[in-house]
Structure 1
Amino acid sequence: MPPRRGRGRGRGRERGAGRGPRVESTVEERSEGSIGGQPPPPPPPPLQPHDKEYIKTFRKEKPPKFDGLGEPQKAEAWIREIERIFEFMVCTDRERLACVTYQLTKPADRWWETRRRTVDPACREALTWDEFKEEIYNKYVPMSYRRAKTAEFHTLKQGNMTVSEYDRALCEMTRYAPELVDTDEKMAAKFHSGLRTEIRVAVAS
């Protein structure tokens, strides 16, 4: 019986000896990987200087501000000017929206901030430039105004304008009925139909 107890104690010491190094290595790993029992902080994200280059380029073009005050023509002119800059820059929707929202001031800025809070976050993140333009038009270019301009386009005549003035007026209003002048033939036909009779006859001859 005594020899058996001796062998049991020997095996216990061997098992205890086997556990010792594992405990020590675990303590060492914790001390190396954390401070005060907290996990180590994640490494900082790599710098991406390109992320702000498009904003610098946008500002160099001196984009106009929009305050939401004034006639609908003011909102239309602002959108056209901003789009000219974006066409030059070749921006993505995300880049366009990041740039353009800085150009809203006063009532327009407050309106957009309120609008953003009422939109579902998923829809807000997926917002496109065309959808943003539609928001601006719905707010600042009433549908009644656009309908009146479309009717004006249909009835536009040269009248007392010079040919150059009539041409400019027609080009200015094509955006209200783009489907009627989406080819050169349609544009020429519309231009010709609005000329004064004597000029139209001379052109035809």
Structure 2
Amino acid sequence: MHQLVEQFLKLKHPKFDGKGDPEAVSLWIEELEKAFEVLGCTKEEKVTLAVYKLQGNVSDWWKATRGRVLLAGTAQTWVMFVEVFNGKYFSESAREQKLAKFMRLRQGHMTVDQYGAEFARLSKFAPRMVEDPLDRARRF
């Protein structure tokens, strides 16, 4: 584990303090998942490393929440962590707002490249609408 922590720290992944746009939560998780893939982390190691990057009130929240979420003697898993974490820091209403923003997205005065970038950024909040390549092309 010591070697894994050293490798993880070398990647210089940012800490998470819970401040800012709720979309920052999604980006933070995505960046963690990229690091975990490179490092070949187990489900339990992912949680340990992610928790290490929690700062301030977010760290306090996890300490208080962990015992309620995890039954005694069960392993903490990444899927469980992300679900609870998103429930706190990327609420259902925030996700719905991002979905609505995706639904309202129009090219307008953007270049095709700008529109494509915004489409890609917001489409992750509407995965069912873009999972089929044909649906994705129609929506674009």
TM-score (norm 1): 0.63
Moved more, 92-101 or 176-185: 176-185
Which has the higher relative contact order, 1 or 2, with Cα contacts under 8 A spaced 6 or more apart? Answer: 2
SS at match of 2:17: coil
2:19 aligned with 1:69: yes
Residue segments in structure 1 that go unaligned for 5+ positions in a row: 1-50, 192-205
2:36 aligned with 1:86: yes
2:126 aligned with 1:164: no
Confirm or deny: 8 A CA contact 2:105 2:119 kept in the other structure: yes
Rounded Cα–Cα distance in structure 1 between residues aligned with 2:126 and 2:24: 19
The alpha-carbon deviation at position 127 of structure 1 amounts to 2.6
Aligned to 2:100: 151
SS at match of 1:121: coil
2:69 aligned with 1:119: yes
More helix by share: 1
TM-score (norm 2): 0.90
Confirm or deny: 8 A CA contact 2:70 2:76 kept in the other structure: no
Which protein is bigger by CA-based radius of gyration?
1
Confirm or deny: 8 A CA contact 1:67 1:105 kept in the other structure: yes
Rounded Cα–Cα distance in structure 2 between residues aligned with 1:77 and 1:120: 25
Aligned to 2:81: 132
Confirm or deny: 8 A CA contact 1:75 1:140 kept in the other structure: yes
2:61 aligned with 1:107: no
Rounded Cα–Cα distance in structure 2 between residues aligned with 1:83 and 1:119: 21
Residue segments in structure 2 that go unaligned for 5+ positions in a row: none
Moved more, 170-179 or 65-74: 65-74
Rounded Cα–Cα distance in structure 2 between residues aligned with 1:70 and 1:93: 27
